[in-house]
Amino acid sequence: MDKETMTAANPEEKETVSKNFIELIIDKDLEEGHCKTVRTRFPPEPNGYLHVGHAKSILLNYGLAVKYGGKFNLRFDDTNPTKEKTEFVDSIIADVKWLGADFEDRLFFASNYFNEMYEAAVKLIKKGKAYVCDLSADEIREYRGTLTEPGRNSPYRDRSIEENLALFTGMKNGEYEDGSKVLRAKIDMASPNINMRDPVIYRVARISHHNTGDQWCIYPMYDFAHPIEDAIEGITHSICTLEFEDHRPLYDWVVRELEYENPPKQIEFAKMYLTNVITGKRYIKRLVEEGIVDGWDDPRLVTISALRRRGFTPESLRMFMDLCGVSKSQSSVDYAMLEYCIREDLKLKRPRVMAVLDPVKLIITNYPEGQTEYVEVPNNQENEEMGTRMVPFSRELYIEREDFKIDPPKKYFRLYPGNEVRLMNAYFVTCIGYETDENGRVTQIYATYDPQTRSGSGFTGRKVKGTIHWVSAAQAVKAQVRLYENLVDESAGSVYNEDGSVNLNPNSRTVLSECYIEPVIEGAKAYDSFQFLRSGFFCVDCKDSRPEALVFNRICPLKSSYKPENK
């Protein structure tokens, strides 16, 4: 996440490295002995699929561990079994691995520490720092006070240590109904920070857990469990987003009162927001459950699995996070920047092939029937190292419907009656006629070709202004192509309606079922990607595509309004 520059005037000078504020804190902690090495973690709750914002946290935490020669853990904060599923655990593990964040054998679950958390709660009770409270959830909120008024002590706050130990043991043993009792930290009901006003740290909940089953009927609250998990794993720096800044005093209180050696340090950074994009798990969950999208990995979403399915690469996401940087200031990023990154990553790596998405047949009347010849085509005009391929050419071709006009507008240089164009990497052809159906829609175009004008022949007799791409009808591979726009209707002015529904773009997905692509894509596998000339970058869909019926998702168009500052 850092940028390196070298003084051009004196190359012997040492590199000067611009570091983000987190790296400066870590440097100071290492220098002052707060820690001898660095250990970070990514701690998702398995209550949904990860989105692009989580990718920033994953890459940041992993990048810091790598930069400082430390370790990176993946740990599931699975303390709330009401929303957690094994499906989400599996998807998160796959996402983290795909991004290249190597946690090696350090896969942990908060639920594996439930015994230690229970003992930690007992320790606080014995220190007089926690008590069992019988107030209801509504009463606790009432007693808590407001931002301008202090809270009031619970009538159960002064229970004896012995009574609290007995009651807490009864909670663990299932003697009390859900919601009838909670364990609260005893801190300060007059604190200006509401999070410090005797927060709940354990509750009764008879819910089967995805990892521990029915072993427990009490579960720790996140703000209590999280610092304990960090301390047990030896995390040195707990990197989290800004909404946890007000929770930091409670985090520090927990590790201090439990007397952990070398306590972890919490550092907050700003979340990454994409404009006009849905990232909230509850909104995505609603879209999935209502069938508006076809799952958490629908290519119109920005979950990591959706981006992977659409054709984004780990390298493009890392580039994107580097461009976004790390700061304490909240800001929004245009989705166009993300598309810029995938274009930059793919443009020199992927073959450029001819694909006709809205086909109309072009028949070259003076080309020999039954004949097929092969023309040599570069695999990537910007990367000669990718070599060339041989593409079949024949009497009957498919071209894009937009490349032919019966009555062309001014400055239209493609095919129309009487006009001559170049067929890319092949011959000059001249339109001599066409056919239409009863609705006036063009069904076939007729042309003649000039054999002397083959590409590479050195022909210089005349020039044409228009060049169009094509595929040979006999050898073309038929495929389905899906074109995507923003799932959100940007003209609505806001992403969400008052009822929490999304302002949906009715044209967010267009399915083209009869597209023709040159035969080089035969055998393409899930996640294989190509640049379709003039149309954009496309990826083989991992769910719906089959060898005999290929399905391509458009990753992004070829052009964008986004321009990086240094370009």
| 236 in the same domain as 141 | yes
Q: How far apart are CA 176 and CA 363, in angstroms?
A: 82
Task: Look at residue 562 and tell me whether its pLDDT is greater than 80.
Answer: no
The answer to whether residue 338 sits within a structural domain is: yes
Q: How far apart are CA 150 and CA 243, in angstroms?
A: 22
Computed over its alpha carbons, how large is the radius of gyration of the chain? 31
Q: Dihedral of CA 312/529/536/347: which sign?
A: positive
Q: What are the distances in angstroms from CA 485 to CA 19, 62, 335, 338, 504? A: 36, 32, 11, 14, 11
pLDDT in tens, 331-348: 889 999 999 999 999 999
The answer to whether residue 276 sits within a structural domain is: no
The answer to whether residue 81 sits within a structural domain is: yes
Q: How far apart are CA 350 and CA 385, in angstroms?
A: 12
Domain count, the chain: 3
Strand-pair partners of 107: 74
| 261 in the same domain as 158 | yes
Q: Which residue has the tokens 């619970």?
A: 154
User: What's the pTM?
Assistant: 0.90
Q: How far apart are CA 87 and CA 32, in angstroms?
A: 43
445, 469, 493 - which closes a domain: 469
Q: How far apart are CA 377 and CA 533, in angstroms?
A: 12
Beta strands in 344-401 (DSSP E): 352-353, 355-356, 359-364, 372-378, 388-394, 396-400
Q: Residue 43 sits in which domain range?
A: 24-269
| 214 in the same domain as 166 | yes
First-to-final CA distance of the chain: 19
| 294 in the same domain as 256 | no
Beta strands in 457-548 (DSSP E): 467-468, 471-472, 477-484, 509-517, 529-532, 536-540
pLDDT in tens, 184-233: 999 999 999 999 999 999 999 999 999 999 999 999 999 999 999 999 99
The answer to whether residue 406 sits within a structural domain is: yes
Q: Which residue has the tokens 């092969």?
A: 374
269, 304, 330 - which closes a domain: 269
The answer to whether residue 18 sits within a structural domain is: no
Mean pLDDT confidence for 303-307: 97
pLDDT attached to residue 69? 97
Quick check: helix, strand or coil at residue 444? strand
| 443 in the same domain as 312 | no
Task: Look at residue 18 and tell me whether its pLDDT is greater than 80.
Answer: no
Mean pLDDT confidence for 75-81: 95
The answer to whether residue 565 sits within a structural domain is: no
| 136 in the same domain as 220 | yes
Quick check: helix, strand or coil at residue 175? coil
- pLDDT band, residue 5 (cuts 50/70/90): very low
Share of the chain above pLDDT 70, in %: 96
- pLDDT band, residue 283 (cuts 50/70/90): confident
* Contact criterion met (CB below 8 Å) for 49 and 293: no
Q: How far apart are CA 404 and CA 413, in angstroms?
A: 10
Q: How far apart are CA 228 and CA 120, in angstroms?
A: 8
* Contact criterion met (CB below 8 Å) for 372 and 393: yes
**Number of C-beta neighbours around residue 97 at 10 A:** 13
- pLDDT band, residue 17 (cuts 50/70/90): low
Closest CA to 466 of 434, 525, 396, 418: 418
Phi-psi sector, 174: left (phi>0), alpha (psi -120 to 50), beta: left
Phi, psi of 223 (to 5 degrees): -65, -20
| 537 in the same domain as 515 | yes
Quick check: helix, strand or coil at residue 165? helix
Mean pLDDT confidence for 104-124: 97
Q: Look up the CATH number of the domain holding residue 445.
A: 2.40.240.10
Decide which of 125 and 276 is more confident.
Answer: 125
Q: Say if residue 343 is exposed, middle or buried (CB neighbours under 10 Å; 0-12, 13-18, 19+).
A: buried
* Contact criterion met (CB below 8 Å) for 199 and 119: no
269, 302, 328 - which closes a domain: 269
The answer to whether residue 108 sits within a structural domain is: yes
| 242 in the same domain as 154 | yes
The answer to whether residue 499 sits within a structural domain is: yes
What is the helix (H) or strand (E) element at residue 340, kind and residue range?
Answer: helix 335-346
Q: How far apart are CA 453 and CA 476, in angstroms?
A: 23
